[in-house]
Chain A
Amino acid sequence: MPEATLQIRHLSKAYTPGQPVLRDVSLDIAPRGVTAIIGPSGTGKSTLIRCINRLVEPTSGSILFEGRDLTQLRGAELRLARTQIGMVFQEYNLVERLTVMENLLTGRLGFVSPLKAWLRRFPAEDIERAYALLDEVGLTGFAQQRADSLSGGQRQRVGIARAIMQQPRLLLADEPTSSLDPKTSVEIMALIRDLAAQRAIPVVVNMHDVELARRFADRIVGLSGGAMVFDGAPAALTDEQLLRIYGGRNWLQ
């Protein structure tokens, strides 16, 4: 087995001291495949994902990404690490007033000087790759549209393309389908899985739809009360396990 891309060790996070949202989570992410994190609302799924690219500061623990401890990085080193980690958001988080093309090129900001980016002088190969990616995500001809003119599904496709533009070595997705209808959700999950598989990028994705997680993940991690209570293949996720993750009983019937 090749070494894990991501090694999370004893990760804890408390937004208010004494009330931890994440409790001592340890997790290895292999260099391939989709890992889905499931669990009830407010159980720290989002916090876990955001600790990885330090949009949230962990309280304690370490996160080794390709050998470097992300929790210790600062300034330029942190930005460099972020360029290697793509992220897809629940509410897409596109820059609404920019075009689809500009939103995609946002994924290259870590590689281009701010002045050149400001003047929209991106390298020709970046623009070439952006057009190719638009074809891949099914948005051919949308390059000049403003992001706020798109539908939810189209926006999320742009969000995914923006993350892939970074040529990341890890893809994070925070509830990427929670604002979408069931059909679009399946399409979006398939897109994430396929684009990542072709490029050999491991994916960590938060979801609250258990069926969708079963369908698209190679591995499922269950969080409850900020701690890991399940880690295994989708087939191993029994009703009994779901009970441990979500509690209650009525919803299973």
Chain B
Amino acid sequence: MSGAPQPAGLRPDPFPPNWWARVGWLLLAVYSLHAASLLDFTWGRFVDGLGHAGNFIARMLPPNFGQWEAILKGMKESIEIAVLASFFGILLSLPIGLLAARNLMPGWVSWSARGVIALARAFHPVIVAIVFVKAIGFGAIAGIMALIVASIGFIGKLFAEAIEEISLKQVEAVRATGAPFMGVIAFGVLPQVLPRFIGFSTYQFDSNIRNSTMVGLVGAGGIGAPLFVAFQRFDYDVVCAIVIAIIAVVFAAEVISTRIQKVFGG
């Protein structure tokens, strides 16, 4: 095993410099400076803008809840959009995620399912919402569809990855009992991934709540529409009231998500 010891001077450097990484960092720094100069991304411009911000904030206060009925109606619609989109999104992403898992499905099945997921992830929900508004008209249904697509993209991908990390020994044992395929899924696969699936789903519910306040900006229903109108009319005190309502709902959704995760146990 042991050869003659190497003289100290001939030993290779144990931490050789990585020149490619250094060049990469340098290029990134140079490009960032270049882009900043093109876009007038400078300190002076920022300080200039601060004056407007002070004016803006002054006009936001105090918040104007005078139109509370409209805010409530919009908020309720946003929540309905988020809940429906989460429900159908989670329901659909379960089978799609399962089909996309390469360790359980033949190649052509998992690649097709992966294609669906990649398509669902390709665009921001607001862009998908614009497409649905153009395709099926204004209103909540376009928002719901857009967020279903977003949910499938997110949960489907992570769920498939979770399945690909399961212990196949447990699956093998269930297969060895002569269980049919759905039995193997129910007893060998799902118990291993259920807690993570619940985690992904509640996270997506959370983000659906946030996104449902956005899709209204493009006419896909919810609180986004009154928010947009208030901005355009420079009614910043109304904007402030709506923003407070959104923060309250998002916070409540987070509390509910945490509760749901506790119920299903980690």
B136 sits at the interface (CB 8 A): no
B interface residue numbers (CB < 8 A to A) = 167, 169-170, 172-180, 182-188, 191-192, 194-195
Interface residues of A in 93-109 (CB under 8 A from B): 93-98, 102, 106-107, 109
Interface residues of A in 214-242 (CB under 8 A from B): none
User: What residues of A have a CB within 8 angstroms of the CB of B185 in the complex?
Assistant: 114
User: What residues of B have a CB within 8 angstroms of the CB of A115 in the complex?
Assistant: 182
Interface string of A161-177 (1 = CB under 8 A from B): 01000100000000000
Contact among A81, A93, A109 with B187 in the assembled complex (CB-CB below 8 Å):
A109
A109 touches B192 (CB 8 A): no
A82 sits at the interface (CB 8 A): yes
Q: Using known A-B contacts A95-B192, A97-B191, A106-B187, determine if residue A87 contacts B178 with beta carbons closer than 8 Å.
A: no
Interface string of A72-89 (1 = CB under 8 A from B): 000000011111111101
Tell me the complex Cα distance, A94–B174, Å.
9
A interface residue numbers (CB < 8 A to B) = 53, 55, 79-87, 89, 91, 93-98, 102, 106-107, 109-110, 112, 114-115, 117-118, 159, 162, 166
B170 touches A94 (CB 8 A): yes
Contact among B176, B178, B180, B194 with A114 in the assembled complex (CB-CB below 8 Å):
B180
Q: Using known A-B contacts A83-B178, A109-B178, A110-B178, determine if residue A94 contacts B183 with beta carbons closer than 8 Å.
A: no
Would you call the interface of chain B mostly helix, strand, loop, or mixed? Answer: helix
A114 touches B182 (CB 8 A): yes
Tell me the complex Cα distance, A85–B188, Å.
18
- Top 3 A-B pairs ranked by shortest CB distance? A83-B178, A82-B178, A110-B178
B187 touches A87 (CB 8 A): no
Count of A-B residue pairs with CB < 8 Å? 87
User: What residues of B have a CB within 8 angstroms of the CB of A166 in the complex?
Assistant: 177-178
Contact among A79, A93, A159 with B172 in the assembled complex (CB-CB below 8 Å):
A93
Q: Using known A-B contacts A102-B187, A109-B183, A114-B186, determine if residue A93 contacts B170 with beta carbons closer than 8 Å.
A: yes
Tell me the complex Cα distance, A80–B194, Å.
28
Q: List 29 A-B contacts (CB under 8 A).
A: A53-B176, A55-B172, A55-B175, A55-B176, A81-B178, A82-B176, A82-B178, A83-B177, A85-B176, A86-B177, A87-B173, A87-B176, A87-B177, A89-B173, A95-B192, A97-B191, A97-B192, A97-B195, A106-B174, A106-B179, A106-B187, A106-B188, A109-B178, A110-B179, A110-B180, A110-B183, A114-B180, A114-B182, A114-B186
User: What residues of B have a CB within 8 angstroms of the CB of A53 in the complex?
Assistant: 176
User: What residues of A have a CB within 8 angstroms of the CB of B188 in the complex?
Assistant: 95, 106
Tell me the complex Cα distance, A34–B170, Å.
26
A95 touches B178 (CB 8 A): no
Q: Using known A-B contacts A114-B186, A117-B183, A118-B186, determine if residue A93 contacts B177 with beta carbons closer than 8 Å.
A: no
B177 touches A110 (CB 8 A): yes
Tell me the nearest residue of chain B to A163, going by C-beta: B177
- 19 further contact pairs, Cβ within 8 A, besides A85-B176, A114-B183: A81-B178, A82-B177, A87-B177, A89-B173, A93-B170, A95-B170, A95-B187, A95-B191, A96-B170, A96-B191, A97-B191, A97-B194, A102-B187, A110-B177, A110-B178, A112-B183, A114-B180, A117-B183, A166-B178
